[in-house]
Each structure stands twice: as C-alpha cells, then as structure tokens.
C-alpha cells in the first residue's frame, strides 16, 4: 500500500513496471455501498454483484458478504470523505499523486494514475483549487513549479501524469476529455448498444470473458487486457478482453456481465 489513497501493489498494478510505469490505483467503495450516494451511476445490478472493488482480492476476504474487513472499511471511509468532505479529500488525493509521482521518478518510471479503481466518478468535471501553501508542497514533491489557483480538474493540475480509467457511462467518452486522460468503456451486461456505438466510433470497450478470450466480439478484434492496466497504450477501436476477478465474477454464468463463449452474443454488426 503506497498510502491511504492509492494502491500500487495489486497484481495488475505491479505488471505496469515492465512497461515503464508505476500504476497507482484508487479504490473506494463502489456504487452506494458507503451509503452516501451512488458513485457508479451506470452500474448494472450484475456488475455491482460481482464488482472487483468489493468482491475480489483483500476486499473479498470476509466470512459473509455483509462483513467488513480493513480494506472494505478503508474504501467506505474514502467514499464517505469524498462525498462529505470533498475539498479536504481531494487535497489528500493531490498530495498522494505528488508522492506517487516522486516515487515513480525515483524508480525511473512514469506515473499512470487511475482514480476510479472501483467507482465511476466523472473527475473531468471536478475542479481543484490550490492555495499558495498547497502549491508549494506539490511543487516540492514533484520537483517542478506548480502554480496556486484554480484548475479545471486533477488532469489539468497533473498534466505531466498519464491518467486512465474504465467507465460504464458512455456519455463520458464523447466529452472534450483532457489529452492525458484515457477512458475505456466497460461492458456491464446491459449497455451493449453503447458499447457497439463506441467501438464503431473508434473507442475501446472492456469486456469480461469467462472462458478465455475470443479473437473477436461482435466483429471487433479482442486484445488481452490482463497483461497490464495501461489502457492508453492500447490500439484504438478494440475490445479489451479481461478475465473475471473474484469468486463471484468467476461463477457468474447468468447475468450477462461476464461473457461466456457458449452464451456469447453472436449479434453481428450491421454491414
Ligand atoms: S460500475 Fe464498475 S466499479 Fe461500479 S459497481 Fe460496476 S463494476 Fe463496480
């Protein structure tokens, strides 16, 4: 654990090193699990029921679904702080980003930040304001001049960092996103029309395949998305194939969120 904001040592984050990146991922309690509002506005019942942010890795090491271990509690605390004490929380995210950037630089790596490890928050619309003292702290940590004042979003503030995320909110793809923010649409089991439209427009779509990667999904080539999480390195207009993470996703043969070859939709794209 890098600090309370980012995780840099998950299995997937660790794979980024061989590609020259430190991958820092922020996990918060998904959807409305923290009881402070829905942080995944386009989640399907199926994706929530199998969400890796709650049902895989350390977060899943509980006796029953209702239990909370320290990882789950930390994700709940972060979601609550984001919703109820946003200014202070965002400052913690900025400071954690600067710390991760310094760590990456020391290791001769670039930083790839992922704010929505287990949420779907439109950070492109959240402004950040820095006072003199805060700008000084970030400048020192990053060893570059960061001015005080208002920034459109964290991506503008940390323009020298590569940012990546998955989203189930297709509308976000079509906004004027910062050039250092790469968004991949994610198949939820209920947003197929959005996914096909996005693929047709040259965006990428992540799909969870239960029994290995097919060569194509609905006419679009499938690439292996598990070799790293650096989605900005992917070619455009492809399906990013992922394996199910966690017991629930691996057992999900019914909901449609996980695509199995026998049940895989064979809808061909209209010629
Ligand atoms: S939208 Fe993503 S993060 Fe949110 S519940 Fe679904 S799978 Fe989890």
pLDDT digits (tens, 9 = 90+) for 229-246: 999 999 999 999 999 988
Domain spans of the chain, in order of start: 6-270
Q: How far is the CA of 232 from the centre of ligand 1 (A)?
A: 20
Cβ atoms 269, 200 nearer than 8 A = yes
Confidence of residue 207 (pLDDT cuts 50, 70, 90): very high
Q: Give the residue-averaged pLDDT of 91-98.
A: 98
Cα of 143 vs centre of ligand 1, distance in Å, is 35
CA 43 – ligand 1 centroid, Å: 5
| pTM of the shown model | 0.92
Residues with Cβ < 8 Å from 254, sequence gap 6 or more?
Answer: none
User: For the residues of 133-195, what is the DSSP string, one character each?
Assistant: HHHHHHHHHHTS----EEESSHHHHTTTSEEEEEES-GGGGGS---TTEEEEEE--SS-HHHH
Rounded CA separation 243/195 (Å) = 18
pLDDT at 263 over 70: no
Q: Span 253-267, mean pLDDT?
A: 73
* pLDDT score recorded for residue 17: 94
Site of tokens 């590569």:
162
> How far apart are the C-alpha atoms of 78 and 89, rounded to whole Å?
8
């Amino acid at each position: 654990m890098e600090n309370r904001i980012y995780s840099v040592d998950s299995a997937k984050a660790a794979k980024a090193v061989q590609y020259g990146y430190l991958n820092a991922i922020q996990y918060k309690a998904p959807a409305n699990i923290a009881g402070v509002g829905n942080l995944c506005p386009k989640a399907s019942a199926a994706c929530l029921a199998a969400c890796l942010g709650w049902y895989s890795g350390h977060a899943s090491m509980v006796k029953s679904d209702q239990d909370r271990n320290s990882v789950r509690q930390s994700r709940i605390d972060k979601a609550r702080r984001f919703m109820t004490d946003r200014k202070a929380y965002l400052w913690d995210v900025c400071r954690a980003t600067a710390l991760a950037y310094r760590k990456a630089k020391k290791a001769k790596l670039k930083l790839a930040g992922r704010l929505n490890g287990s949420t779907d928050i439109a950070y492109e619309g959240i402004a950040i304001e820095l006072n003199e003292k805060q700008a000084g702290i970030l400048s020192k940590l990053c060893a570059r001049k960061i001015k005080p004042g208002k920034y459109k979003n964290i991506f503008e503030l940390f323009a020298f960092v590569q940012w990546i995320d998955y989203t189930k909110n297709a509308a976000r793809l079509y906004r004027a996103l910062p050039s250092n923010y790469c968004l991949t649409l994610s198949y939820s089991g209920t947003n197929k029309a959005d996914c096909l439209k996005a693929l047709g427009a040259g965006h990428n779509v992540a799909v969870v395949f239960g029994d290995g990667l097919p060569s194509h999904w609905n006419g679009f080539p499938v690439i292996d998305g598990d070799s790293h999480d650096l989605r900005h390195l992917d070619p455009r207009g492809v399906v990013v194939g992922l394996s199910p993470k966690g017991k629930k996703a691996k057992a999900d043969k019914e909901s449609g969120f996980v695509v199995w070859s026998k049940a895989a939709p064979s809808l061909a794209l209209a010629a």
